Amino acid sequence: MDDLKEKYLPRIADALDEAALEDIRLAAVGKKGEVALKMRELGQMDPTERQIKGPILNALKNEILSAIAAKKAGLADTALDARLRSEWLDVTLPTRTRRRGTIHPLSQVTEEVTAIFAEMGFSVAEGPRIETDWYNFDALNIPSHHPARAEMDTFYLNRAASDDRPPHVLRTHTSPVQIRSMESTGAPTRIICPGGVYRADYDQTHTPMFHQVEGLAIDKDISMANLKWVLEEFVKSYFEVDDVDLRFRASHFPFTEPSAEVDIRCSWENGNLKVGEGDDWLEILGSGMVHPKVLQAGGINPEEWQGFAFGMGIDRIAMLKYGIPDLRAFFDSDLRWLRHYGFEALDVPTLHSGLSR
C-alpha cells in the first residue's frame, strides 16, 4: 500500500491538466483501478487481517481522492491567473479625444429666445411651413390684390388646374401661427412661435429660407406699453446687458394697427457691435396692436379682447449677438464653421445658469 501511495501522489502533484488527473484517478481509485483490486483481495483475507487492512485501504483511497481534488483546485487557480494576466487592461490609459457635434447657432438662439419668453409666461406654438394662402395672407388682413403679397416674394406651390384645394404657399412669415393659435386656444393667450419661413431672395443678408419668432399676447386690457416692456425685457436678457434703449418707429403692417418697427441703440466699433450704447440704431423687429380684423379671423371678439404681436428675425439676432457676418453660412453645413460658431451640446440655455457661455 505504501508502494501505491508513493506511486500515485507524485504523479498527481506533477499532473499538467485535468485530463491527466482524470487518467490518474481511473488508474488508482476507479472501479478497475489498483486500489479497487486491492479492496477485492480483502474478501479472501481472514477477518483479523481484513480488520487491519480494510481501514488502511480506505484511508489510502481518501488520501488519493483528496490529493486529486486539491490538485484540481490548484490547476483552476493557475488557469485563472494566466487568463487574468493575458486579459489585463490598463485602465489608466488616456481616452481618445472624441469628435463631438455642436449645437447650431440658430438652435442655440431659438432656445435662448424660448427661455426668455417662457420666463414671461409665453408658451411655444407651432404651425405648418406649407400654409394655405388664407392663413398666410387673407386672415392677416392681406386680401388677394394687396401690394403686400407682391412684396413678399412668395413661393407658391404648383397645382393642377383641376385641383380644387385652396392654394398653398411656403409661409412667408410666422404670423399665420397667430391665427392658428387664436383658433386653438382662444383668448386670453400668450405664445411665441419660432420657425422657418420662406421668401425668394438671396444675397449676403437674405436666404430663401430663414427663421422668425412670432409673439402674440391677447387679453382684456393690453396696450403698446405692455409690448414695449416685454420687448425691453427681452432685448436686455438676450443681449445680456443691464440697460437698453428701444426706438419705436411708426410703420405699417396690414395685420397690426398701430404698427411699429423697433430699433435698438448700439455702436459699431471696428466692426464690433455693442448693444445699449452709442449713436447707431439697429432694426430688429416689426410689431403692433393686433388688427381687429385679424382677431375676428381667429374667432376672437375684438370688442372684448385686444393684444399685441411682434415678429423678429432669429437669424438676424443670432448674427448680431455672435458676430456672424454672412447669413448664408448658416445653411452651408461647413463643419469648420460649425465647430467655430457651434455651442456645447449639453449647455442648455436658461436665465439662471446663463444664456450663452
Closest-CA residue to 314 (of 354, 284, 288): 284
When asked if residue 189 is in the footprint of ligand PHE (CB under 6 A), the reply is no
Least distance between ligand PHE and beta carbon 93 (Å): 56
When asked if residue 135 is in the footprint of ligand PHE (CB under 6 A), the reply is no
Least distance between ligand PHE and beta carbon 310 (Å): 5
Lookup: cell for 118: 417662457
Least distance between ligand PHE and beta carbon 245 (Å): 21
When asked if residue 4 is in the footprint of ligand PHE (CB under 6 A), the reply is no
Q: Which of 103-111, 294-302, 307-315, 339-347 is the region at the interface with ligand PHE (rule: CB under 6 A)?
A: 307-315
When asked if residue 311 is in the footprint of ligand PHE (CB under 6 A), the reply is yes
In this complex, which beta carbon is closest to ligand PHE, that of residue 189 or of residue 287?
A: 287
| Residue ranges with strand state E in 220-279 | 246-253, 256-269, 272-275
When asked if residue 286 is in the footprint of ligand PHE (CB under 6 A), the reply is yes
Helix or strand holding residue 289 (H, E): strand 280-290
When asked if residue 122 is in the footprint of ligand PHE (CB under 6 A), the reply is no
When asked if residue 117 is in the footprint of ligand PHE (CB under 6 A), the reply is no
Least distance between ligand PHE and beta carbon 209 (Å): 14
Helix or strand holding residue 306 (H, E): strand 306-313
When asked if residue 253 is in the footprint of ligand PHE (CB under 6 A), the reply is yes
Contacts (Cβ under 8 Å, ≥6 apart) of 285: 231, 261, 262, 310, 311, 312, 313
When asked if residue 194 is in the footprint of ligand PHE (CB under 6 A), the reply is no
Q: Parallel, antiparallel, or unpaired for β 123-124 and 189-198?
A: parallel
C-alpha–C-alpha distance, residues 1 and 13, integer Å: 18
Identify the DSSP state of 139: G
> Among all residues, whose Cβ is closest to ligand PHE?
311
Closest-CA residue to 198 (of 165, 157, 164): 157
In this complex, which beta carbon is closest to ligand PHE, that of residue 253 or of residue 343?
A: 253
When asked if residue 127 is in the footprint of ligand PHE (CB under 6 A), the reply is no
When asked if residue 141 is in the footprint of ligand PHE (CB under 6 A), the reply is no
When asked if residue 207 is in the footprint of ligand PHE (CB under 6 A), the reply is no
Least distance between ligand PHE and beta carbon 108 (Å): 22
**Ranges of H-type helices in the chain:** 2-14, 18-29, 34-42, 47-86, 105-119, 133-136, 147-151, 176-185, 224-239, 292-297, 314-322, 335-341
Q: Which of 4-12, 75-83, 141-149, 304-312 is the region at the interface with ligand PHE (rule: CB under 6 A)?
A: 304-312
When asked if residue 195 is in the footprint of ligand PHE (CB under 6 A), the reply is no
C-alpha–C-alpha distance, residues 175 and 135, integer Å: 8
Identify the DSSP state of 346: T
Contacts (Cβ under 8 Å, ≥6 apart) of 130: 157, 168, 169, 170, 171
Least distance between ligand PHE and beta carbon 200 (Å): 14
When asked if residue 306 is in the footprint of ligand PHE (CB under 6 A), the reply is no
In this complex, which beta carbon is closest to ligand PHE, that of residue 8 or of residue 210?
A: 210
When asked if residue 287 is in the footprint of ligand PHE (CB under 6 A), the reply is yes
- State the residues that interact with ligand PHE by CB under 6 A: 173, 175, 214, 253, 256, 286-288, 309-311
